[in-house]
Amino acid sequence: MDGRPGLRERKKQRTHAAISEAAVTLFLEHGFNQVSVAQVAEAAEVSKRTLFAYFPAKEDLVVHRLADHETESARVVRARPHRTAPLTALREHFLKGLRERDPITGLNDHPQILKLARMILDTPSLVARMQRFKAGAERALAQALRETADTPELTARLAAVQIVAVQWSLAQDNTERVTYGEPADERYPGAVADAEHAFALLENGLRHPPQRP
């Protein structure tokens, strides 16, 4: 076998993509709360039953686009080079994301990405769904710290909560700035400085926090 997905799996992937594209197009055009699941199903040419088989909740039609990022920090920790500290690997990965304008860092001002970010921030049910996403990221990272860094359970959980919170806070700051008109390229130096400061706080603790330049 060549490892490629079979016909059935490819069909499922196409259906998943078609539903997703139809949903996001409608949501961005009319607003999340103004579009029904039935309208999404009609636009994607599937039944509501089929839609819910792929996306159990309406909010999943949006949040699934970030699904790969839920375990991203955990994957970075697991894949880090030998003798590299988890926090060092995560810091370097976040800075790389800023350089590459990865949307998950908030530093991307492409019009479609900005519209999607605004929609999420302005929709309480999507904000609540993102909190579940955040909790999943914390659990995955804590497990990676336990398994690869021999970190005690409580320490791993507390560290994961702090790390994920810092990453999300940095991303939210960047998102709000670019959403309200600051170009990503102009924001970049400040975003890097904020990230360096934030990871220094994580590394050094709060007893003697480093001063922000």
Residue 1 belongs to some domain of the structure: no
Count up the domains in the chain and report the number.
Answer: 2
Assigned token pair, 94: 């976040």
Does residue 42 contact residue 51 with C-beta atoms inside 8 Å?
A: no
Q: Is 106 left (phi over 0), alpha (psi -120 to 50) or beta?
A: left
Residues 125 and 180 in one domain: yes
Q: What is the pLDDT of residues 96-121, one digit of tens each?
A: 999 999 999 999 999 989 999 889 98
Q: What is the pLDDT of residues 137-193, one digit of tens each?
A: 999 999 999 999 999 999 999 999 999 999 999 999 999 999 889 999 999 999 999
Residues 80 and 139 in one domain: yes
Residue 210 belongs to some domain of the structure: no
- The last residue of one of the domains, among 35, 58, 81, is 58
Assess whether pLDDT exceeds 90 at residue 205.
no
Which residue carries 């030998």 as its tokens?
Answer: 82
Residue 5 has what pLDDT?
66
For 103, the domain range is 64-204
Residues 96 and 127 in one domain: yes
Residue 66 has what pLDDT?
82
Residues 72 and 177 in one domain: yes
Cα separations (Å) of 57 from 24, 39, 101, 132? 14, 14, 29, 13
**Per-residue exposure over 6-17, b if at least 16 CB sit within 10 Å of its own CB, e if not:** eeeeeeeeebee
Whichever domain contains 47, its CATH number is 1.10.10.60
Residue 172 has what pLDDT?
93
Residues 115 and 192 in one domain: yes
Residues 47 and 122 in one domain: no
Residue 212 belongs to some domain of the structure: no
Residues 53 and 86 in one domain: no
Residues 49 and 119 in one domain: no
